[in-house]
Amino acid sequence: MFDTVLVNLYTRDIEAGIHFYRDLLGFEETLRTPREGAPAHVELRLGGFTIGLGAVEAARSAHGVEPEPGRPVMAMAVWARDVDEAFEHLVTAGVPVIQPPRDAGNDNRTALLRDPDGNLVEIVAKRR
């Protein structure tokens, strides 16, 4: 009945979102619409996971909704080889920190940051 899932994050600044997910976290851009000019929607893939970034204006015109980017109703977990190294990379790039790296349950090490719209992004790795 259902095939696949795409998480769509609404953004006030789609270029900042693209920079964060593509350039800092290593997602690969797989779709952009429109192809010319400022995008209204971009899809990015890392491993087997795809996210969409949709401009707030596009959500208003296409769906008639008023999104509120950055409200912490979810956290996207991004697995890394080394949380401390990934954390330093992101902090050096100016990404806002909520929680620095710490040992967590399930033998994981984790850090919590915010994307350009304030959405929670958790960096996770197995402890060595």
The share of the chain scoring above pLDDT 90, in percent, equals 68
* Same fold? 1-65, 73-128: yes
The predicted pLDDT at position 59 comes to 84
**More confident of the two residues 85 and 3:** 85
The predicted pLDDT at position 73 comes to 67
List the domain boundaries for the chain.
1-65, 73-128
CA–CA separation, 112 and 11 (whole Å): 19
- The CATH number of the structural domain formed by 1-65 is 3.10.180.10
CA–CA separation, 34 and 104 (whole Å): 42
Evaluate if residue 99 carries a pLDDT over 80: yes
CA–CA separation, 124 and 128 (whole Å): 12
pLDDT band at residue 6, thresholds of 50, 70 and 90? confident
pLDDT tens per residue, range 53-84: 999 888 888 778 888 887 776 788 899 999 99
The predicted pLDDT at position 1 comes to 66
Long-range contacts of range 18-23, CB-CB < 8 Å, 24 or more positions apart?
Answer: 18/42, 18/44, 18/53, 19/116, 20/95, 20/115, 20/116, 21/51, 21/53, 21/115
CATH superfamily, domain at 73-128: 2,3-Dihydroxybiphenyl 1,2-Dioxygenase, domain 1 (3.10.180.10)
CA–CA separation, 102 and 3 (whole Å): 36
